[in-house]
Amino acid sequence: MSLVKYSEMISEIKNTENHLLLGNGFNYSLGVNTGYANIFEVMKEHNPIYNNLIIENDNYDIEGIIGRLKSNIENSDKDFLHVFINNQVKKDFIRACFSIVKESIKNIYEEKNNGLGLLFKNFTNYFTLNYDPFLYLLLLKFKKNENLLVFNNTIPFKEIDLNVQTSEKYKTIKDIYHTYKKDIFDSGGNKILEKDFNKLTKTDFEKQLSDVLKNKGVKNYKKCLEVLYQELLENEIKLDISDGFTKNSMLQLFEYRPEINKNLFFLHGAFHLYKDKKSIYKITKANEKALYEIIDEILDNESKDLICVFTNDSKIDEINDSRYLKDSLDEFSNLRGNIVIIGSSLDNNDKHIFDAINDSEANRVYISSSQKSFEKDFQRATELFKNKEIVLFDRDTICYDKVEVSE
C-alpha cells in the first residue's frame, strides 16, 4: 500500500458515484487558515481578555475550551454561567472565524485555483465538518441557479470582478478570444488553415493575444485575463446545488424543507443556519447587516439558536436533537460508491461521522494524507473503516490548476 497522487485519485473516481467530505485541511489548501489556533489568535485581537485564558497542551479546540471553562464553575449560578460562557465564547469564535474567511476568500481566486470546479464536478453530494459557510460560497460560483448566499461585505472580489467585466479593455479581450483566428501555414509558407483563438492552448492564446493587444496599444491587462479565465471556467462547470432551503414568501426568509432533495450538508451545522422555535432558516443577502451582527442577535434571542455543534460532550446527542443535523447525518449514512475525504485529521471527536461511513454502503474511502503521516493515517483508517477499501492520496500533490483553457 502506498500513497497515490491527487491526479490519480481524480482519474480513478471519474464516471462513478462519488461523495465529498471536507475538513479544515481543505480550507488550508486554499489559503484560508481556519484552524483552531489561528482562530484563537484572532479572538485575542478582537478581545484581549482571551490573553488571560490558559490553553492546556496547546489544545485550542473550541469545544474543549468551553467545556473546561464550564467544568470550573461550581456555585449556585453555574447554570446561568454555563449558558453565558457558551454563548459568549461561541460569539467570539464565530466572529473571529468569519473575519478570517472574509479576508482570505480572495485567495481562492488566484490562478493556481482556477480548476477548483474540476474537483467539484466529480461529486454527487458535498459534506463538510466545518462551521464556516466557505464550501457554499465556493460552490455558488458554479451553481446553475440564482446565488442565494452572499453575505454583506464578505466577498469584495465580486465587486472587483464586476468592475473588470464592465471595462472596455475586458470587452476587447473577450471579443478577441471569441472572434479572432490564427493563421496556420505549411512548411512552404502557404496558409492552409484558420484556427479560432478559443481553440488554442492557453499558452498559444496568450502569445497571440499579446501580439494583437500590442498592435492596439493595450497594456496592463493581466487582471482582465484572469477574470476571463474565471468566467470561462464558471460557464464550463455548472453544478446543481441544493441545501434544502427555499424562500418562505410570507416571512421573506429561506426556510429549511426536509422533503426537498439536497446535496449540500453541514454535518456539524454552520454560522449561517439557525433555529427559530420549531423552524430552521438560513441567513442570506436579504438582510443588509453584517453576518456577525445577525449572529449576535440570534444568540441573544431566547427563541433562536445557531445550528452549530459546539459541545465537548457527545456530539451525536446534539445532532439527534436537531432536525437539520439528524437529516444530514442520515443522508451521510446512506451513501453508496466512493467517499473522498480531504482535510480531516480522523480525530476521535468526529468518530460518529466515521461510524456513519463504516455503516454505509460506500465501498471505497479515499483519504488525503502525506508521506510523513502515511503509516499513522493508514493504521487509523483501517481501525475506523473496517468494512471499506481504503486509498490514501498525497495532499501535497493536490492541485487546482486548470491545465488549458481549451485544446
* Angle, alpha carbons 354-358-362 (nearest 5°): 115
What single-letter amino acid sits at 267? L
Burial class for 165, CB neighbours closer than 10 Å (0-12, 13-18, 19+) = middle
pLDDT (average), residues 271-288:
81
Nearest CA among 11, 22, 28 for reference residue 396: 28
How much helix, strand and coil, in percent to the nearest 5, is found in the chain?
50, 20, 35
Residue 17 has pLDDT above 50, yes or no: yes
Q: Which three cell numbers mark 155?
A: 466577498
Sign of CA dihedral 338, 341, 346, 347: negative
Nearest CA among 139, 122, 138, 130 for reference residue 18: 122
- Contact, 224 vs 173, CB < 8 A? yes
For 184, the enclosing helix (H) or strand (E) is strand 181-185
Mean pLDDT, rounded, of the chain: 84
Residue 152 has pLDDT above 50, yes or no: no
- 127: three-class secondary structure by DSSP: strand
Give residue-wise pLDDT tens across range 161-220: 667 877 899 999 999 999 999 988 777 777 778 889 988 888 899 999 999 999 999 998
Residue 160 has pLDDT above 80, yes or no: no
**Residue 402: pLDDT band by 50, 70, 90 thresholds?**
low
Residue 144 has pLDDT above 70, yes or no: yes
As a dihedral over the C-alpha atoms of residue 362, residue 368, residue 369, residue 375, rounded to 10 degrees, the angle is 10
User: Residue 258: its pLDDT value, please?
Assistant: 94
- Contact, 230 vs 114, CB < 8 A? yes
Which stretch of 12-26, 114-128, 385-399 has the lowest confidence by average pLDDT?
114-128
Of the two residues 203 and 233, the one the predictor is more confident about is 203
Query: Which positions ≥6 away from 83 have C-beta within 8 Å?
Result: none
What single-letter amino acid sits at 91? K
User: Residue 271: its pLDDT value, please?
Assistant: 86
Q: Distance (Å, rounded) from C-alpha 174 to C-alpha 166?
A: 11
User: Residue 406: its pLDDT value, please?
Assistant: 38
Q: Distance (Å, rounded) from C-alpha 9 to C-alpha 11?
A: 5
Q: Distance (Å, rounded) from C-alpha 232 to C-alpha 213?
A: 20
- Contact, 304 vs 276, CB < 8 A? yes
Give residue-wise pLDDT tens across range 235-248: 777 888 899 998 88
Residue pointed to by grid coordinates 480550507: 27
Q: Hey, which bits of 205-293 come out as E strands?
A: 245-248, 253-256, 264-266, 269-276, 279-282
- Contact, 154 vs 103, CB < 8 A? no
Q: Distance (Å, rounded) from C-alpha 144 to C-alpha 266?
A: 20
**Residue 380: pLDDT band by 50, 70, 90 thresholds?**
very high
Q: Hey, which bits of 208-294 come out as E strands?
A: 245-248, 253-256, 264-266, 269-276, 279-282
State in Å, rounded, how far the first CA of the chain is from the last one.
36
| Percent of the chain topping pLDDT 70 | 88
For 22, the enclosing helix (H) or strand (E) is strand 18-22
Which stretch of 196-205, 322-331, 373-382 has the lowest confidence by average pLDDT?
196-205
